Structures are given as structure tokens and as C-alpha cells.
Structure 1
């Protein structure tokens, strides 16, 4: 005769450490935390922080330009007083469009990095107020969207651009999108300004908007061009994205992933309160850095 012996599952004794979470699960949860931090960071960067960043850069550029105008050292050509090409991001002009309540410092260059700080002057065109066609480009939505309302300009509207040579007054002669006919070529000795931005839903540019304006004030002296028209790199063309591998973004992404995995691991090993205190600020800062580098990859007119 056999006697059945009933066994019961063994319970962990008090004080026995819980089974450790597998490494794969740590990585998966860390990746999800990284993704959440990245999405929140991009949202905050696009909707709020990029505009704050642009305004801060504009204040700095305005102080620099005002000082240069007072000293008579503001640039009036593609080169500085030593004959060197102007550095990208150098303040070169102040554009004032009363009907749009736009007052922005114009920087030299039109790639994505320059246009995060304000409108840019296309380097292979004359300075505003000079003979020929000058081109200014600006973002429509991100980083304050300084040129976001250009489509509201109407024929006959006037605005001014201040450079080291004085104030130039322009009158709008047309607003055009892709497929619209371009105005007649500018007459010799006359000046024109083209304002360029993006069209389409916010942060999802699908075309280019151009506002043509003729110079109605006296034409300034026009120095000889150093950069020939049509020779700019692709990164400075309308709707262009930064060229090359975004190494800063890659490094910040790696740091965010490591911090997120470490946060998940310490949550199980150390405790939730300690994890919140130590890792939430770190993950938030890293997520914001990644978001900033990600938005810099947007097309330059977005």
C-alpha cells in the first residue's frame, strides 16, 4: 500500500531577495523609457523651448549688431574688414515688417544651424539695399517661426531693412508659391529682396513660399561678389537638411539609453524613490539634449 504525499510549493522566506529581472527586460524597459523621454523632449522643444532659444539668440545678435552699427563696423559685403568671408551666424542686418509685427536680426548663412537663431542671408546674393536680388530665408514654424506669416503680406506693403549702409525700404510686388510665375528680372542698378520660407502644415513643410519686394529707396553701393551665384552647398538651399553624420545626436542618444537602462535596473535593485530622485533629472536633461539635436535635423525652412 502506497501513501500519497502532498507537497506544497515552497514560499520565499522573509528577507529573501526577489528573483532578478532578466537583462533583456531591463533593456526593453530602458528602451521604452528612452523613447518616452525623447518624444516628450521633442514636443517640448518644438512647441516651447525652440522659441525661447531663438529669442535668446536674437537678443545676443541684436546687441552685437547695434554695437557694430554704432562703431561703423557692420558688414556690408560677403567679407569682413580683413577680407575674410563672414562667419556663418554673423549678424548682418535688421528686418522690420510692421504689418506682421516682425523685427528680427538677419544672420549670415542659410543652413539649418544658422536659421535656428533667426532669419538668414543667402551668402551668394548682395546685401539688402544693394543692386541686384538679395535673398533672406527664415523658418515658418520651429524656433519661433519668424517668417511664419509671410503669406499675409499683400502687394503694396512696405518694410525696412537696416544694414551697415543705412535703411533700405522695400515694397511688396507679389507672393508666389511653387508653379507661380516669377517677376521680371530686376533692372540694372535696381534692387530687389526675396523673402523665403516654407509652406504646408506646421513642422511638415511641403513647399517653398517666396515674397518679392522691390527697393524703393536709394540703392547702396554694391561691392564685388566673392561667392558666385549658384555655388553654395546643398545644405544652404531651401528646405535642405544638415549634411553629414549627426555625431552629437548619436552620442546623446547613447547616453540617454544608458541612463534609461540604469534607471530601470536601480528601480528593482535600489527602490523607486531613490531612482526618481537620482535618474529623473538625468533622463530629462538627456532627453531634452537629444530632442534639441533631433529638431536641428529638420529642413532649414521648417
Structure 2
């Protein structure tokens, strides 16, 4: 009997000789190391420069705002305080009639034609003195006294008391009040930096301001004669200093400005460091008044470097 033939098991399928290639995404070629390393520092330098320019623009804008807004508030505050002080001195008959300390009130000035009323005239004509109001040149007579009285006033910043001085016309009245009484002057002559006032009358008043409401390059002068008899001039006036001259800049403020700027920088750095270790909002709020006060001092000293009649 013949044994049945055994069936052979099927052979496993052989892989194809030409399999379809797998679809793969080619890796992006890496950026050259040199280009990446050079782009990052360049970007950092650009951002640092942009921040520096932005900060400088903010500071300059703030300074312009200070000159044309906040400086007027500052001058009005001083005028209000000085007016009360001088009125009290007049009432007690102790107002100065001779030499006085820098910044002390020495007279009241009224010029109705340009809308100036009860302006307190302070002693001195440096840039800092004229931040307080019109200034009496220390080596001249006081208004109402025998001789020539000279008063400077700003034309654009810090209240700009003499901004409209050029509108005065011959015949306009100027009234001054001092510890010796009330006096009236009549405008009669004009001049400028190139053509000083020439007037043979001995007892007169000369008002001086800048010739521009931008950065002045010369002066405007208005002369007025005293109506009536003058009061006694005690003399003994101190000599002027270089910063008393028309259009002079108070260069002594430069060192003070640098110190205030260092203080401002220290306050900003302190606020930045404190914000990292403390609550950010609380850090900024706590140091904001300090930064504001330091910034005000920086702007005030920077303004002293401008021409004193500005």
C-alpha cells in the first residue's frame, strides 16, 4: 500500500527586488554657524540703540514740556509767595531800598499795556534769579530812585513776564512800587543789542528782554522817563557778576546738573533692581515720586544753562 504524498508548506513571500522607496522629508539645512552668531549681537546692539534713542527723545520732550508749562507753574508759585512777603514788608515799612540778597523781592511792577499786573521784581538778573520773575540788575538804582533802574525779564519761559514788551508804545505808562513809594514812568525810547538806548534824562527805567520767543540772539530795550521827582538813592550797590549780563548762561549750573543726573540714574537703577526682587508695581510706585523730583531738578538746572532772558 503506497503512503500518501505529503504536501509541502507554502514558502514565505520573498521581498520584492525593487521595493518602493519610503517617502521621507529631508531635514532643513542648518544655518551656517557664522551667520547665526553674528546676527544675535547685531540685533542686541540695534535694540540697545533704539532704547537709548527713545529714552533721549522722551527726556528732550519732557524738557520742552517743562520749559513751556511746568516752569510757568513754578514761577507763579514763587510769585504768589513773594507777593505776600513783599506786601507784608511794605506794610511794616521794612522793604529793601538798598542792596538786597539774590532772589529777594524789591519792587512790584505794573504795565497795563501788556497785561502785566503786580509782578514781583526780585534782586539779581542771573538765570536762576529770573526763574522767579523780573529781575533788578544789582548795580543800578531801584525804580523810583535817582539814576537809571534796569529790570530784566524772560520772554518765553518761567512765566514769560516780558513776552509782549515790544508792544509798548511811546506814552504807555509803567508803575513801580517799592519801599519808598509808588512811581510812574512814561515810555519814550527804544533800543536793542546793537543800538543801546540814548536818553539824556537821568532818572529813568530800562526794561530788557530777548528778541525772540525761541533762542534769543539779541535784546529788546524799552526806556521810560520818571514822572515827578525821584527818591534818594542810598548807593552802595554791589558789582555785577558775569551771569548778570543779558543773554548770559549760568555755567555754574553745569556741575550741579551732572550731580542731579547721577542721582536720577541711581534712582532708575534702584527701581529696576527693586522690581526684580519685589512686587514690580509696588517698586515703581514707591520710587516714582523720587524719580519725578530728581527729574524736575535736572530740568531746572538744564534751564539755567539757557540764556537768562529766554
- Shorter chain as denominator, the TM-score bin is 0.7 to 0.9
Residue 302 of structure 2 is aligned to residue 291 of structure 1: no
Q: Report SS of the residue matched to 1:224.
A: coil
Is the alpha carbon distance of 1:65 and 1:277 closer, same or farther for their aligned partners in structure 2, counting shifts above 3 Å?
closer
Residue 84 of structure 2 is aligned to residue 63 of structure 1: yes
Contact (CA 8 Å) 1:51, 1:144: kept in 2 or not? Answer: yes
Distance in 1 (CA, whole Å) between partners of 2:52 and 2:123 is 40
Q: Report SS of the residue matched to 1:171.
A: strand
Distance in 2 (CA, whole Å) between partners of 1:262 and 1:36 is 22
Distance in 2 (CA, whole Å) between partners of 1:226 and 1:260 is 46
List alignment gaps of at least 5 residues for structure 2.
1-25, 31-39
Shift of the alpha carbon at 1:119? Answer: 0.5
Count the aligned residue pairs: 275
Distance in 2 (CA, whole Å) between partners of 1:31 and 1:263 is 18
Is the alpha carbon distance of 1:70 and 1:272 closer, same or farther for their aligned partners in structure 2, counting shifts above 3 Å?
closer
In the other structure, the counterpart of 1:192 is 204
Q: Report SS of the residue matched to 1:238.
A: coil
In the other structure, the counterpart of 1:179 is 194
Contact (CA 8 Å) 1:34, 1:287: kept in 2 or not? Answer: no
Shift of the alpha carbon at 1:63? Answer: 0.5
Residue 109 of structure 2 is aligned to residue 109 of structure 1: no
Q: Which of 170, 181, 194 pairs up with 1:155?
A: 170
Shift of the alpha carbon at 1:292? Answer: 2.2
In the other structure, the counterpart of 2:251 is 243
Contact (CA 8 Å) 2:196, 2:221: kept in 1 or not? Answer: no
Contact (CA 8 Å) 1:91, 1:107: kept in 2 or not? Answer: yes
Shift of the alpha carbon at 1:263? Answer: 6.4
Is the alpha carbon distance of 1:280 and 1:123 closer, same or farther for their aligned partners in structure 2, counting shifts above 3 Å?
closer
Q: Which moved more, 1:128-137 or 1:37-46?
A: 37-46
- CA deviation vs aligned residue, 1:256-292 (integer Å, no higher than 9, x gap): 3345566678889999867865676665554333222
Q: Which of 61, 74, 79 pairs up with 1:53?
A: 74
Shift of the alpha carbon at 1:99? Answer: 1.0
Shift of the alpha carbon at 1:129? Answer: 0.6
For normalisation by structure 1, the TM-score amounts to: 0.79
Contact (CA 8 Å) 1:38, 1:291: kept in 2 or not? Answer: no
Residue 108 of structure 2 is aligned to residue 94 of structure 1: yes
- CA deviation vs aligned residue, 1:204-235 (integer Å, no higher than 9, x gap): 111011100000122112213343xxx41110
Distance in 1 (CA, whole Å) between partners of 2:285 and 2:300 is 24
Cα RMSD after superposing both structures: 3.4
In the other structure, the counterpart of 2:308 is 300
Is the alpha carbon distance of 1:262 and 1:221 closer, same or farther for their aligned partners in structure 2, counting shifts above 3 Å?
closer
Distance in 2 (CA, whole Å) between partners of 1:93 and 1:165 is 10
Instruction: Return the structure number with greater relative CO, CA threshold 8 A, min gap 6.
Output: 1
Q: Report SS of the residue matched to 1:253.
A: helix
List alignment gaps of at least 5 residues for structure 1.
10-18, 79-85
Bigger radius of gyration, 1 or 2? 2
For normalisation by structure 2, the TM-score amounts to: 0.77
Contact (CA 8 Å) 1:29, 1:261: kept in 2 or not? Answer: no
Q: Which of 34, 44, 54 pairs up with 2:65?
A: 44
Residue 241 of structure 2 is aligned to residue 233 of structure 1: yes
Is the alpha carbon distance of 1:131 and 1:278 closer, same or farther for their aligned partners in structure 2, counting shifts above 3 Å?
closer
Distance in 2 (CA, whole Å) between partners of 1:220 and 1:27 is 65
In the other structure, the counterpart of 1:214 is 225
In the other structure, the counterpart of 1:16 is none
